[in-house]
A and B are shown apart, each in its own frame.
Chain A
Amino acid sequence: MTSAKTGRLILEIVMIILSLLFLYPLILAIINSFKSFSEVMSDVIAMPQQFNFDNYAYVWKYINYPRLFINNTIITLIGLIGIILFSSVAAYKLSRTQSKWSNMIYLLCIIPMLIPFQSIMLTVLQLAKNLHLSDSTWGLGILYWGFGAPLAVFIYHGFVKGIPREIDESATIDGASGFKLFFLVIFPLLQSVTTTIIIIDVMWIWNDFLLPLLMVNGSPATKTLTLAAYTFVGQYTSDWQYAMTAMVMAVMPSIIVFVLLQKYIVRGVVAGAVKG
């Protein structure tokens, strides 16, 4: 009994050390964001002589951090709202209707999950230009509707099956139908799936790189956080203290949100992955 207990304790200690080693690259990045250029160059693993925020002040101004943050928020919000709104109504209707048409449309909705983005990136860019969606945060947000819809339709479709049809019927008898039935009765019942989709899509849209690179890289006013960090490092490859600061500033929002919502995020990812 005691030997099993000590074994467990040893395992626990080993795992804690392992997890700290695992996070060490991130810790190093944070440490070095507080150092001056000469400190970074002389010793990367040493602690900074003093924690000053000079690098942060410099990068904050240079990349116009508030602007980027707002851009990211606009893109993510527009993307999310459209994905959830359009996918949930469509998935609900498709799941409730039994016909050749609805099966075919459902397939059309989910097949794109298999198309790699690189296979269509050039033509998406051209189409977006023709539709006047490029070089704007709004336009990028709108484009995410289509890119996010297949998975969202798939997840909602599976979930609606679990909601008894009697609910629709009794609501119809009470006089609700169409959009009223959906938004007042069904949509609230979909809350847990909606949370899952919000989590998956926020993580994806907030961090996405290639689509923003192609769509909104033209002007500093439309850049996203990741994009700005990418171009910033391109210009400052030898000034690692600034580069690391920009990295830390780009990932900080994700880390803060994760720490606050950890439980929901992990649960949401599992739900999405298992359904997907």
Chain B
Amino acid sequence: MKMGRKWSDRLQFGIFTLPVLICIAVAFYIPFVMTVRYSLTKWNGIAKHPKFVGLDNFHQIFTGDANFSSAAWFTIKYMVLYIVLVNVLAIVLALILDMKLRSTTWLRAAFFVPYILSLVIVGFIWKFIFMQGFESLGATTGWGIFAMSWLGEPGLAFISILGVSIWQSVGFYMVIYIAGLQAVPEDLKEAATVDGAGAFRKFFSITLPLLAPSITISVFMALTNSIKVFDVILSLTGGGPGGTTYSVAYDIYRDTFQNNLYGYGTAKALVLFIAVLVITFIQLGIFKRREVEA
């Protein structure tokens, strides 16, 4: 009897968990194992059998691939600036929209709207603005800022990509921070006011430390999203001008699907995976520790 019960429990456990395991295996684990295998080969996708080359691909990635190193540099710059700017702006917005203004509901919705749009389409809309809209705006206002070549010059194209990504997603981070601010107890702030703390003092000594969990989450999300930046570049600059705005994700996409370097592309993909893993663990480690102190 007891034995029978145990087996039926086990059977039930299997029936409940197996479907999801199969789905995840199909979506992640099997492809991942295949990726590891392909990364050790040279293959154009047409030849019947991939040719085993050992670690040659990795050797080439780190020693003789100018595309990869410039894409990596682009991604790092983008990642750092994106994380800092989007979080600072989101905190500022959240602080203002946490005050009880009459138009708060409208304002929160307005800043959130771009986040519900697909990044590819956001990229195209902005391409239109940069290429056509800025011309009209420049003619009307006479401001030189609209006459600049925002997609045609490497430095400016970088800023455009960064700006458009921030525009699209700042509302999402703002919402997380508003939720965090609402968890900050009112009486703490009031007590500080009674003690004579000014607005800045209150912000840095009370609000910011108590926002630490929200900051950990937001930075984590900004990190994982920015390290994979792809869609917005594809539609906004297509990697140009002169290949200066390729990100690592885009570089992998290009090698794999446009240059048909299946083996080499997957090796790069594996390098990206390890980078994501290491950076995520470091970030979570640092921020979690700070949270405990706060």
Interface check B197, CB cutoff 8 A: no
Interface check A264, CB cutoff 8 A: no
Interface check A34, CB cutoff 8 A: no
Interface check A209, CB cutoff 8 A: yes
Interface string of B30-46 (1 = CB under 8 A from A): 11101100100000000
B143 CB → nearest A CB, Å: 13
Which chain A residues in 94-130 approach chain B with CB under 8 Å? 94, 97, 101-102, 105, 108-109, 112, 114-124, 126-127
B279 CB → nearest A CB, Å: 10
Residues of A close to B20: CB separation below 8 A: 86-87, 89-90, 109, 149, 153
Which of these, B17, B119, B248, B256, contacts A121 with CB under 8 Å?
Answer: B256
B5 CB → nearest A CB, Å: 11
Contact status A15-B96, CB under 8 Å:
yes
Residues of A close to B258: CB separation below 8 A: none
Residues of A close to B32: CB separation below 8 A: 115, 119-120, 123
Interface check A160, CB cutoff 8 A: no
Contact status A274-B217, CB under 8 Å:
yes
Contact status B121-A149, CB under 8 Å:
no
Which of these, A15, A118, A254, contacts B253 with CB under 8 Å?
Answer: A118
A interface residue count range (under 10 / 10 to 19 / 20 to 34 / 35 or more): 35 or more
Contact status B256-A32, CB under 8 Å:
no
Known contacts A118-B230, A149-B24; A254 and B116 CB within 8 A of each other: yes
Residues of A close to B113: CB separation below 8 A: 23, 26, 255, 258
Contact status A116-B107, CB under 8 Å:
no
Interface hit among A38-46, A47-55, A187-195: A38-46
Contact status B129-A109, CB under 8 Å:
no
Contact status B175-A269, CB under 8 Å:
yes
Which of these, B31, B117, B128, contacts A240 with CB under 8 Å?
Answer: B128
Interface string of B88-131 (1 = CB under 8 A from A): 00000000110101110011111111101111110011101100
Residues of B close to A23: CB separation below 8 A: 110, 113
Interface check A159, CB cutoff 8 A: no
Interface check B172, CB cutoff 8 A: yes
Residues of B close to A117: CB separation below 8 A: 228
12 extra A-B contacts, CB within 8 A, seeds A22-B111, A207-B116:
A16-B103, A26-B113, A44-B137, A86-B23, A97-B13, A114-B277, A120-B35, A121-B252, A131-B26, A247-B128, A254-B116, A274-B217
